[in-house]
Amino acid sequence: MSKAVSKAVVVFSGGQDSTTCLIQALTQYDEVHGITFDYGQRHRQEIEVAETLGQQLGLKSHKTLDVSMLNELAISALTRDSIQVSNELMDNGLPNTFVPGRNILFLTLAGIFAYQLGADTVITGVCETDFSGYPDCRNDFVKAMQSALEQGMDRKLTLSTPLMWLNKAETWALADKYHSLDLVRDETLTCYNGIVGTGCGTCPACLLRQKGLDDYCNNKEQVQQELNTKCQS
């Protein structure tokens, strides 16, 4: 009997985190499929970046979905050009780049895509350890979504979060482990102002990304050891 083909869907934005997850997934699954969402986001260049990287890295298939209805419902600095990205938290304790319901919608649609493909894993680059304050990046949320999707589709599905307990330095170390640090640094788009690579250098996403890169480059051996310890646990 032939071995079953292992398949995974990566929620792929073309940013540092999802690209690192994609690169890792390509070493772990027979087929890796990507799904990218166009929700009228502020930095729309990320869609082009994701499609280019998907072709370059060898995705089995790559679907870009129009979910612009999210833009109509969710008011955020990432959905309204008139709202300036702020480094300060709002009165509710969340950054003004938080898009309410975004990952609920994304993971639901990715789960449906996985169902149609016969994939039993959806990979997302959310992170609780070193994140931007978004409640839909937390482990409890992901576990709740996995339970809902499994119950709603009556099918086993794993929402895999390889970066959940990594800090940004360790995420850079993971990219380096797969000999892709230069690609992630120079060709991904994390910047809230839509600048590829090192970005604008001033928005919250750029500051977090650069600090992680500096921390990794200044102490590679220790960070790699910490990464290996977390990956083995």
pTM, rounded to two decimals: 0.89
Q: Which residue ranges make up the annotated binding site for Zn(2+)? A: 191, 200, 203, 206
> Average pLDDT in the 153-176 region?
97
Q: Which residue ranges make up the annotated binding site for ATP? A: 12-22
pLDDT band at 39; cut points 50, 70, 90: confident
pLDDT band at 137; cut points 50, 70, 90: confident
Task: List the beta bridge partners of residue 95.
Answer: 89
Which residue ranges make up each domain of the chain?
Answer: 7-232
Residue type for 82, please? S
pLDDT at 2 over 70: no
**In angstroms, rounded to a whole number, what is the distance separating the alpha carbons of residues 16 and 228?**
19
Between 69 and 63, whose confidence is greater?
Answer: 63
As a whole-number percent, the residues of the chain with pLDDT over 70 amount to 84
Which range is least confidently modeled, 93-102, 139-148, 154-163?
Answer: 93-102
pLDDT at 24 over 90: yes
Q: What is the pLDDT of residue 226?
A: 96
> Average pLDDT in the 143-165 region?
97
Contact in structure between 121 and 32 (CB atoms under 8 Å): no
Return the structure tokens found at 213.
């890169």
pLDDT band at 48; cut points 50, 70, 90: very high
Q: What is the pLDDT of residue 84?
A: 59
Q: What is the pLDDT of residue 81?
A: 54
CA geometry: angle at 39 spanning 103 and 29, to 5°? Answer: 55
CATH classification for the domain delimited by 7-232, as one of 2.40.30.40, 3.90.1150.10, 3.40.50.620, 3.30.1330.60: 3.40.50.620
Question: pLDDT tens digits, residue range 182-232?
Answer: 999 999 999 988 899 999 999 888 999 999 999 999 999 999 999 999 887
Of 102, 113, 108, nearest to 71 (Cα)?
102
Q: Which residue ranges make up the annotated binding site? A: 12-22, 191, 200, 203, 206
**In angstroms, rounded to a whole number, what is the distance separating the alpha carbons of residues 13 and 126?**
12
pLDDT at 46 over 80: yes
> Average pLDDT in the 19-42 region?
93
